[in-house]
Amino acid sequence: METDYAIIGGGVVGLSVAWGLLRRGRTVTVLDGDDGSFRASRGNFGLVWVQSKGMNQPRYASWSQQSAAIWADFASEISSNTGKPVPLAQRGGYDLHFSEETLEATLAKYKKLKAQLDGNYPYEVLGHNALRKEEPHIGPKVVGAILHHQDGHANPLKLLMALAADVRRMGAYVLPGRTVTDVTKPDAFHISCEDGTTLTAGKVVLSAGLGATQLGPKMGFKAPIRPQRGQVLITEKLPKLINRPSLIARQVDEGGIQIGATNEEVGLDDRVTQPGLSSLAAEAIAAYPALARAQLVRSWGALRVLSPDGLPIYQQSAEMPGAYLVTCHSGITLAAAHARLLPDWLEGTDAAPDLEVFSENRFAVS
Amino acid sequence: MKTASPFLELESGRPVDVTWDGTTFSLPDGANLAAALLASGVEVFRHTPVSGAPRAPFCMMGACFDCLIEIDGVVRQACMLEVTEGLVLMRPHEGEAHDDQT
Amino acid sequence: MIKRDIAIIGAGPAGMAAAAQAAGLGLSVTVLDEQPYAGGQIYRDVDRASSMRGKILGPDYTGGTRLTEGLRKSGVDHIAGAVVWAIEDGFRISYSRDGRGAQLMADRILLATGALERPMPIPGWTLPGVMTAGAGQILLKQSGVVAQGAVLVGAGPLIYLIAAQMVRAGTPPAAMIETQTRGDMIRALRHVGGALRGWRYMAKGLKMLAEIKLAKVPRYTGATQIAIEGEDKAEAVTFAHKGSRQRISCETVFLHHGVVPNTQAARSLGISHSWDEVQACFGPVLDEWGQSDVERVYIAGDGAGIGGAKAAEYAGRLAALKMAEGSNRLSAPERDRKAAPLQRAMQRELAARPFLDAAYPPYRAAVRPADSTIICRCEEVTAGDIRGYAEIGCLGPNQTKAFGRAGMGPCQGRYCGLTVTALLADANGQSPDETGYYRIRAPLKPVTLGELAAMDEATKDAAE
C-alpha cells in the first residue's frame, strides 16, 4: 500500500480533509484534476456563513456553527505554517430584505431554529434606519436586514492557496492533472487514472465535487448530486462601500465588490449570460445604489455541488468500507470542520462528530 | 496651463478648458484625451490600487487600462475619450477614503 | 432588436473590406467598432489625419482612406464608439455606447479585432513614460503628438517604421535598442526565398533604414539585459551591448517585439486555439476562409494570425465571400472564382513573414522574465510569483489566476496571458498548448452595473 489515504479531488474540501489527516500523522495522496476542471473552489462567494443554513435540519445549522467557531483559529494556523495570509472577517453578516413580508417570514423560521439550537443563534433585526447607521450606502428599497453575528467572509482563493502549500509542507503527495477513472477494492483500494497512474491506498475519500456522479456509483455511493449554476460579478476595486457581507454583495479584501448569485439549473454550463449579469446588477443597485457607477470587471459562472436537500453528504460506502463520500456546497464555511473535526469521523475515533443526518440513508430509493 | 512635456504637438486644435485633478488645462477640442493630457505635461495619471505605483498611458488603444481617469463618478479610459469643453476629471477614486478591509 | 445577416466587430482593414464585400453581395451588415472613427489601429483616424500628416506617416497609411471610403459608400451600418462586451449564442451581441447598453442579433459574426503588442515585461516597464511602439504610432496618427528624445526598444519592422516617421516629424529617436542578433538574421536566411518574393515589403524596410541612418539615429543591435530606470517615471534605459553596459537618458520609451492576435472575443466564444511556434503566440484554429470551429463565427485580419494590413483586407473579403455563399447569396463556383485573385494576393503579402519572424524574434528575456519583474500590470504579480504557483501545483493559468490574481484585472490578461502561459509551460515541462490560456468570459470590456441593470429593465419591459 502506497498511502494511508487517497483523496480524490484537490479543491477546498479535499485539501481541508487532507490537511486534517496529515495533522494526525497519516500519509495522504491527493489526486487533483486539471486547469480546465470545474472547480467550485475557484468560483464561490467566499462566505463563512451560518444564517439560513439548516432551517429544516438543525444539525446542519449547528455543524456550520461549529465550523465558523473554529475558522479563525484554523486560518491562523495554516497561515502561520505557510506564511500565506488567509484574510477573514467575522463581524456578522446580513440577510437583506426588500419587503416586510419576506423579513417576517424569515424571522419566523429563525425563531423556530433558535429554539431548536437551545438559544445559540445570535441574530437581531435592523430596520432601515438602524441598518443605515451600519451601512451608510444602503439603498432606500432595503426595508431591513437580519444581522447574524456568527456570519463572516474570507478570501477563498487565499484559503485554497494556503491549504495547497500547507498540505505539501506536511508531506502530502499531490498529483495534479489526474482524472480518476476507476476505484476497486480487491484487497486495499486500487485507484486508476486516465493517464495510466495507479495508486493503492488504505482508505479513499471522494471529494471530487461534481466528479462524484461518475465515480460515486462505482464505489457504492448514490451520490445524488447535481450542478446548479451561480453567476457572480466582481467590480473594479472601490473605496470602502460595504461593511458587512450579505448574499447579495460583499466587498472583498482587495477592494472589489462581489455580487451574486443566480441559481440556475442548466447542467454543466458555467458560462455567464447577459440576462443573468443584468439581474444581479439590478439587485445589487437596489441594495446599494452607489454601485450604479461601478465598473464590472469580471464575471464567472460556477457550478454548485448540490444534494437534493442542499445539505452535505458524509457517507461511508457499505460496498467498499473505508471509502468515504464527502461533498457539500458550502466548502468554505465547512473548511474548518472538514480540517479539524471530520478526520475523527474518517478515523472512527471516539471524538467523531455525529454526522448521521448527513448520510445517504436520507435519500429514499426511487 | 501647460507644463513642460517631452511630447511635441504638430498642430493645435481649438483650445478649451478642462479640469484635471483640480488643475485647469487648455486642451484641443476633440482631441484624444490621453494624448492631450500627455502633451500638456501630465506624467502620472493614477496610482495603482495594489501598491500605489504611478501609472500613465501604455497602449493608447483601450486594452491596458493604465490610463484610467474618473468622470462623473465613473472610471473610464482616457485614451477612449475625446476632449470637450468643461470636462471635470479626477484621478480614479482618489476623492474617497480607503479603509482597510478584512 | 436589430437583426442582421452579419455583425462585424472591428473597423480595421479586415472589417472594412469584409463589410463592403458582404454588402455588395446583398447581405445586411452592421459594423461595431469601439473607436470614434473607422480605420482600426493601423489606419487609426486616417480620414482626419491623412491630409494633416500624410507626409510623415507615408502612403501605406494614407492608402487606408480607400477602405474608409469603401465602407461609407457601401451604406453599411457602422456603429462607432460601440464597445462590445458580450457575444452569446444566437448570436446576441451586447455592447456599450455613450454609457448606454444595447444589443443586436446576427446570423453570422466576423471577428476583426486585430492584434495587440506582444507583452514585453522588462524591469521598469510599468513606469509612466513607457509605452508600446503602437501607442507611439497612435499618438502620432491620431493626435499629431510626437515624443522628443524617445528611445525605441525591442525588435521588428514596426520599430523602423516608427523611427522613420519620427525622423520625418523632426523628432528623431534618441536611440534604437534592438534585441535581434546576427544569429537571428543568419537563421532567417533560410527563408530568404520568401523575402525575395515579398521584395516590395523588404524594399520599404530598407528605405526606412536608410532614412534612419541618414538622420544618424544611434542603433544598438543584439542588446541584452535591458532595464528601464526611474523613480516615478522613466528616466533612462540601461542595457548590455557588445560586452559593455550602456545607459541612455530619456523620458519616453517605446517597447515592441512583435504583435500577436487579440483573442479575447474568440476565446469567450469557446473557439479553439493552437500555439504557433514561429510567431510564439496562440492563434485561432480556422479554415482557409477564416471560419472557426464555432459555427458561423469567422475571424479575419491580424486577429486570425499576424499578416499585416493588406493581408487583413484580403482575409476580410474572403470571409465575406464564404459567408455570402453560406447564406445562399453566391454559388460555390462563383465564390471560388472571386476568391482566387484574393488568395494569390494574400500569399504575396505573407511571403516575407517567415523571414521577418525569424530575423526579429521576441526578446528572450521578456518572454522568460526574471523573478522580480512584474508580469501582470493590473495586479502587480511578478514572474517569480507565477513560478511559485507552479511549485504548489498550478498546471495552468486559471489556477494561477485563482492563487495570485494574475489575469484578474481590467485588462483581463491582454498584457500578461502569454507570459503566464510561457512561464507555466517552462515550469511544468509542458507545451503552451498543454498549459492552456486564461478562461475568457464576458464582460470583454468593463461595463457599469447601472448600464447592465438598465438592460434588465428593458428585457422585463419587453416581456410585459
In percent, the amount of chain C with pLDDT more than 90 equals: 90
Rounded-to-integer distance, Cα A311 and Cα A109, Å: 17
Q: Is B53 helix (H, G, I), strand (E, B) or coil?
A: coil
- Using the Cβ of C456 and the Cβ atoms of chain A, whether some distance falls under 8 Å is answered with yes
Rounded-to-integer distance, Cα C327 and Cα C22, Å: 11
The CA-atom distances, in angstroms, between A165 and each of A38, A80, A172, A227, C403 are 21, 11, 10, 28, 11
DSSP assignment string, A247-276: SSEEE-TTSEEEEE---B--SS-----HHH
All structural domains of chain C: 2-116+260-330 (3.50.50.60), 119-257 (3.50.50.60), 368-430 (1.10.10.1100)
pLDDT beyond 80 at B96: no
Residue C195 parent element (H or E): helix C192-197
> Inter-chain contact A293–B74, Cβ cutoff 8 Å?
yes
CB pairs A-C closer than 8 Å: 124
The CA-atom distances, in angstroms, between C315 and each of C281, C287, C417 are 20, 11, 26
Out of C88, C392, C397, closest to residue A35 by CB: C397
* Mean pLDDT across A324-333: 97
Q: Say if residues C332 and C325 touch (Cβ distance below 8 Å).
A: yes
- In CATH, the number for domain B15-90 is 3.10.20.30
Calculate the average pLDDT of chain B. Answer: 88
The pLDDT tens digits for A84-118 are 999 999 999 999 999 999 999 999 999 999 999 99
Q: Which residues of C touch A35 (CB under 8 A)?
A: 394-399, 435-436
The pLDDT tens digits for A4-42 are 999 999 999 999 999 999 999 999 999 999 888 888 998
Q: Say if residues C135 and B58 touch (Cβ distance below 8 Å).
A: yes
DSSP assignment string, C32-100: EESSSSSSTTTTTTHHHHHHHHHHHH-HHHHTTHHHHHHHHHHT-EEEET-EEEEEETTTEEEEEETTE
- Using the Cβ of A285 and the Cβ atoms of chain C, whether some distance falls under 8 Å is answered with yes
- Using the Cβ of C430 and the Cβ atoms of chain A, whether some distance falls under 8 Å is answered with no
The pLDDT tens digits for A169-189 are 999 999 999 999 999 999 999
> Inter-chain contact B59–C135, Cβ cutoff 8 Å?
yes
Name residues whose C-beta falls within 8 Å of residue C142's C-beta, 6 or more positions apart in sequence: B32, B35, C44, C45, C48, C49
Whether omega before A363 lies within 30 degrees of 0, making that bond cis, reads: no
Distance from CA of B5 to the nearest CA of A (A): 30
Amino acid at C49: A
pLDDT beyond 50 at B101: no
Q: Which residues of B touch C382 (CB under 8 A)?
A: none
Neighbours of C227 (CB within 10 A): 17
- The predicted pLDDT at position A365 comes to 67
- The predicted pLDDT at position B98 comes to 42
Strand runs (DSSP E) across C125-230, as ranges? 130-132, 145-147, 151-154, 175-178, 219-220, 224-229
> Inter-chain contact A36–C398, Cβ cutoff 8 Å?
yes
Rounded-to-integer distance, Cα C440 and Cα A297, Å: 12
By CA distance, what is C139's nearest residue in B?
B35
pLDDT beyond 80 at B99: no
Distance from CA of A326 to the nearest CA of C (A): 22
Mutate to test the interface with C, among B27, B32, B80 (most CBs of C within 10 A): B32
- Using the Cβ of C86 and the Cβ atoms of chain A, whether some distance falls under 8 Å is answered with yes
Calculate the average pLDDT of chain A. Answer: 96
> Inter-chain contact B56–C377, Cβ cutoff 8 Å?
no
> Inter-chain contact C446–A297, Cβ cutoff 8 Å?
yes
- The predicted pLDDT at position C201 comes to 84
Name residues whose C-beta falls within 8 Å of residue C59's C-beta, 6 or more positions apart in sequence: none
What's the predicted TM-score (pTM) here? Answer: 0.93
Q: Which residues of B touch A240 (CB under 8 A)?
A: 96-99, 101
Rounded-to-integer distance, Cα A49 and Cα A261, Å: 15
- Using the Cβ of A238 and the Cβ atoms of chain C, whether some distance falls under 8 Å is answered with no
* Mean pLDDT across A130-158: 97
> Inter-chain contact B58–C132, Cβ cutoff 8 Å?
yes
Query: Domain locations in chain B?
Result: 15-90
Q: Is A310 exposed, middle or buried (0-12, 13-18, 19+ CB in 10 A)?
A: middle
Out of B7, B32, B61, closest to residue C146 by CB: B7
In percent, the amount of chain A with pLDDT more than 90 equals: 95
Pull the grid cell for residue A191.
Answer: 485507484
- The predicted pLDDT at position B102 comes to 32
- The predicted pLDDT at position C90 comes to 85
Of the candidates C249, A340, C250, A68, the residue with the CA atom closest to the CA atom of residue B7? C250
Specify the long-range contacts of residues C201-205, CB closer than 8 Å, at least 24 apart.
Answer: C201/C349, C201/C351, C201/C352, C202/C352, C204/C60, C205/C157, C205/C160
Q: What is the ipTM of this complex?
A: 0.94
Q: Which residues of A touch C446 (CB under 8 A)?
A: 236, 295-297
Question: Strand pairing partners for A127?
Answer: A144
Tell me which residues of chain C have a pLDDT lower than 50. 464
Name residues whose C-beta falls within 8 Å of residue A80's C-beta, 6 or more positions apart in sequence: none
Question: Strand pairing partners for C236?
Answer: C229, C249
- The predicted pLDDT at position A366 comes to 55
Contact partners for chain C, using 3 or more CB pairs closer than 8 A, are A, B
Rounded-to-integer distance, Cα B87 and Cα A243, Å: 33
Amino acid at C251: E
C59: left (phi over 0), alpha (psi -120 to 50) or beta: alpha
> Inter-chain contact C411–B64, Cβ cutoff 8 Å?
yes
Q: Say if residues A4 and A28 touch (Cβ distance below 8 Å).
A: yes
- The predicted pLDDT at position C456 comes to 81
Residue C362 DSSP label: P
Q: Say if residues A162 and C403 touch (Cβ distance below 8 Å).
A: no
- The predicted pLDDT at position B70 comes to 95
Mutate to test the interface with B, among C139, C142, C171, C260 (most CBs of B within 10 A): C139
Residue B1's pLDDT band, with cuts at 50, 70 and 90, is very low
Distance of CA C169 to the CA centre of its chain: 25
Rounded-to-integer distance, Cα A51 and Cα A56, Å: 12
Distance from CA of A15 to the nearest CA of C (A): 12
Q: Which residues of B touch C116 (CB under 8 A)?
A: 59, 63
> Inter-chain contact A293–B73, Cβ cutoff 8 Å?
yes
CB pairs B-C closer than 8 Å: 118
All structural domains of chain A: 3-80+156-224+309-362 (3.50.50.60), 93-149 (no CATH), 226-306 (3.30.9.10)
- The predicted pLDDT at position C281 comes to 96
The pLDDT tens digits for A214-240 are 999 999 999 999 999 999 999 999 999
By CA distance, what is B76's nearest residue in A?
A295
- The predicted pLDDT at position C459 comes to 64
* Mean pLDDT across A249-253: 96
pLDDT beyond 90 at B11: no
- The predicted pLDDT at position B97 comes to 44
Name residues whose C-beta falls within 8 Å of residue A37's C-beta, 6 or more positions apart in sequence: none
Q: Which residues of B touch A236 (CB under 8 A)?
A: 75
Rounded-to-integer distance, Cα A344 and Cα C386, Å: 36
Residue A177 DSSP label: S
- Using the Cβ of C269 and the Cβ atoms of chain A, whether some distance falls under 8 Å is answered with no
> Inter-chain contact A255–B75, Cβ cutoff 8 Å?
no
Using an 8 Å CB-CB cutoff, list residues of chain A that contact chain B. 87-89, 153-155, 236-240, 251-255, 293, 295
pLDDT beyond 90 at B94: no
- Using the Cβ of B97 and the Cβ atoms of chain A, whether some distance falls under 8 Å is answered with yes
- The predicted pLDDT at position A200 comes to 97
Distance from CA of B102 to the nearest CA of A (A): 5
